Every structure is written in structure tokens, then in C-alpha cells.
């Protein structure tokens, strides 16, 4: 494989030695989780006052209850109706909790003037598909059914996620479309993890310039194996698990996607955006040259600031009255 270090954005390059790829094994997953849970929240600019409340949502059809964090602007006028974002965190389906995005979710709530509900879905491999997605759907139903109490406009609900959370957000949009219970206004997919076949088939002709940093083909196979309960790349994978497998993308909500050019997911994300456009879904895709997976969490870079700003601008436009 070609080395892509020379292609890395010059502001991101100094961080490469500190962001070694995650080397998952069944044996070291508990320790990786302990370290991940101790990681400070992703950085975000200081914004106005926001409240955070933890809620427990009853599970559906015998499933366990679902924990979620609810963020709201501290001051909301009586009678006002706010847009809302259902947020799904990243972590390859196997690590992290919604607290990892605490600062950013506060920033979204203050900057956009919206309610954010971040779902603590069950992790794989302890809970494989469809459990994590059903947890996300439970959170979406709760947000929609509690719109009055939350002062939310039920016609302005978006789903957002990063990495594995982006894949879950895309899957949730498919599920919501097909079940017809909650209309979605928008989906914001941040370097989403959409295709279990990526890195799993030699015949694919892998992109030699993608996936060398942070999230590698080996990490990807581990995450998908945990979520699926079997080896990835087989022919019997549900599109509600791997959205790239969906045949029909028509009727999905308007979409904004972001991915780095050196990210393992760049090809599957570009292809999904192309297919959304061909299905008549209004879609905007931003590919960031020199950027690897998760680059936006690194502090003090212009490219990271632009990434965050462009995501918020897209949310603001989509959720405006």
C-alpha cells in the first residue's frame, strides 16, 4: 500500500503520531472502552447557556430501556417551537457513550437554537443488529411523541451521526421512511460507516490512499463483525444495518454528508451520495482534501473549524421555518 502521509493536510500532520490506529481484539475491547469512556468530550466553541437532562425511555417490544441525554437552550420563549436533532455517537459500534459529544451537542443546541437528543444505544458485540438500531428508533419515537413537552416542532426533526453513528443515522432514516411513523426533515451524515463490504473483499480493489490512519480496514472488519454477529461482506446483510446495501433510496430526507479524502469511508460515502442524488434526494457532499477519519476532533485547525461551521450551516438551513 502507498504511504499517504505526504497527502495529509499540513495542520493535521503533527497529530499523526498521537492518533495511532485502534487495534481491536475481543480481549482488549474492555480496556479500550475504559480508556474511551475516560476521554474528554469533543471540543466545541463556547456558546450560550444550555441545559442537559438525562432521560430513560421505556424499551419497545420487551427491549431494555434506552438512556438518552437531552440538550435545550436554557431560555426558550413560552409557546415557541424549536427544531430538534436526534444525535447518534460514533465508535465503530463497539465503544463510546453520548457524553463523548457533550460539548458539541451543547454547541449545536445553542448555535442552532434546537433540542438535541443523544441516544445511548447498546453496543456490539454484546448487542448485535438490530438491537442498536431499534434503540435509536425508540429514541426517535420518544422525541416525536414528546414534541409538545419539549417544545419541538415535529415537522423539523433531523438525524445526525458521526462514523458508526452516521451509519446508524442513515439506517434510521431508511427505517423511519419505511415504517412511516416519524417524518424526518434532514439527515446529517458525518463520515458515515455505511458498507460492511469496505475492507472485507480483496476483489473490491481497495483505495490505496484511504484508511491508513485512525480507522483502518482491520478496525472496520472488527466493528462490522461485532455488529453483524458474523463475518462482514456476506450477501445476507440487511440495508437497515448497512445502508449501502439499500436498493431504493427514494423518499429519504434531504442529506448533507462530510468525509475526508483519506478516510477509509470516502469511496462508500461518495457512492451513497451519488445514489441519493440519482434517487431524487437533495444531497450535498463535502470531501476534505488531506483529512483522515476523525480529523475534526483535533483542536485548533482551520480545516476542522470549517468542517464544524459547514455542518452547522447545513443544519441551520434545513431546520429553518
Active-site residue identified among 111, 153, 293, 296: 293
Q: Is 163 a catalytic residue?
A: yes
Q: Which of 298, 275, 276 is nearest to 288 (CA)?
A: 298
Helices (H), the chain: 29-37, 102-108, 131-145, 147-150, 164-179, 217-228, 266-278, 302-319
Other residues' Cβ atoms within 10 Å of the Cβ of residue 66: 22
- Cα–Cα dist 287/269, whole Å: 9
The C-alpha atoms of residue 163 and residue 83 are separated, in whole angstroms, by: 23
293 is catalytic: yes
Q: Indicate which residue of 120, 135, 263, 267 is catalytic.
A: 263
Distances, alpha carbon 47 to alpha carbons 32, 190, 304, in Å: 31, 22, 17
Which of the residues 9, 107, 163, 196 is marked catalytic? 163
Task: Say how far apart CA 61 and CA 101 lie, in whole Å.
Answer: 29
Strands of the chain, DSSP E: 50-57, 66-73, 82-88, 115-120, 152-162, 186-190, 255-260, 283-288
For strands 66-73 and 115-120, give the pairing.
antiparallel
Give catalytic residues, as residue numbers: 163, 263, 293
Amino acid at each position: 500500500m502507498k504511504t499517504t502521509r505526504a497527502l495529509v493536510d499540513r495542520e493535521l500532520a503533527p497529530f499523526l503520531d498521537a492518533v495511532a490506529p485502534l487495534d481491536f481484539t475481543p480481549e482488549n475491547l474492555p480496556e479500550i472502552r475504559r480508556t474511551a469512556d475516560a476521554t474528554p468530550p469533543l471540543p466545541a466553541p463556547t456558546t450560550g447557556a444550555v441545559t442537559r437532562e438525562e432521560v430513560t425511555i421505556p424499551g419497545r417490544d420487551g427491549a431494555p430501556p434506552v438512556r438518552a441525554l437531552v440538550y435545550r437552550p436554557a431560555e426558550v420563549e413560552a409557546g415557541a417551537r424549536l427544531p430538534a436533532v436526534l444525535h447518534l455517537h460514533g465508535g465503530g459500534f463497539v465503544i463510546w457513550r453520548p457524553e463523548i459529544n457533550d460539548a458539541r451537542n451543547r454547541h449545536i443546541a445553542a448555535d442552532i437554537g434546537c433540542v438535541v437528543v443523544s441516544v445511548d444505544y447498546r453496543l456490539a458485540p454484546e448487542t448485535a443488529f438490530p438491537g442498536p438500531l431499534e434503540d435509536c428508533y425508540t429514541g426517535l419515537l420518544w422525541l416525536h411523541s414528546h414534541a409538545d413537552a419539549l417544545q419541538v416542532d415535529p415537522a423539523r426533526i433531523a438525524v445526525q451521526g458521526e462514523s458508526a453513528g452516521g451509519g446508524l443515522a442513515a439506517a434510521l432514516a431508511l427505517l423511519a421512511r419505511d415504517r412511516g411513523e416519524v417524518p424526518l426533515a434532514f439527515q446529517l451524515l458525518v463520515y458515515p460507516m455505511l458498507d460492511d463490504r469496505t475492507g472485507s473483499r480483496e476483489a473490491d480493489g481497495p483505495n490505496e490512499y484511504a484508511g491508513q490512519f485512525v480507522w483502518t480496514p482491520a478496525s472496520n472488519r472488527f466493528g462490522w463483525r461485532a455488529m453483524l454477529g458474523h463475518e462482514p461482506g456476506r450477501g445476507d446483510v440487511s440495508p437497515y444495518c448497512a445502508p449501502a446495501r439499500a436498493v431504493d433510496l427514494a423518499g429519504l430526507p434531504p442529506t448533507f454528508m462530510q468525509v475526508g479524502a483519506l478516510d477509509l469511508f470516502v469511496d462508500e460515502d461518495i457512492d451513497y451520495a451519488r445514489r441519493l442524488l440519482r434517487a431524487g434526494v437533495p444531497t450535498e457532499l463535502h470531501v476534505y482534501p488531506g483529512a483522515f477519519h476523525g480529523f475534526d476532533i483535533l483542536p485548533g485547525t482551520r480545516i476542522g473549524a470549517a468542517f464544524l461551521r459547514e455542518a452547522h450551516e447545513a443544519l441551520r438551513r434545513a431546520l429553518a421555518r
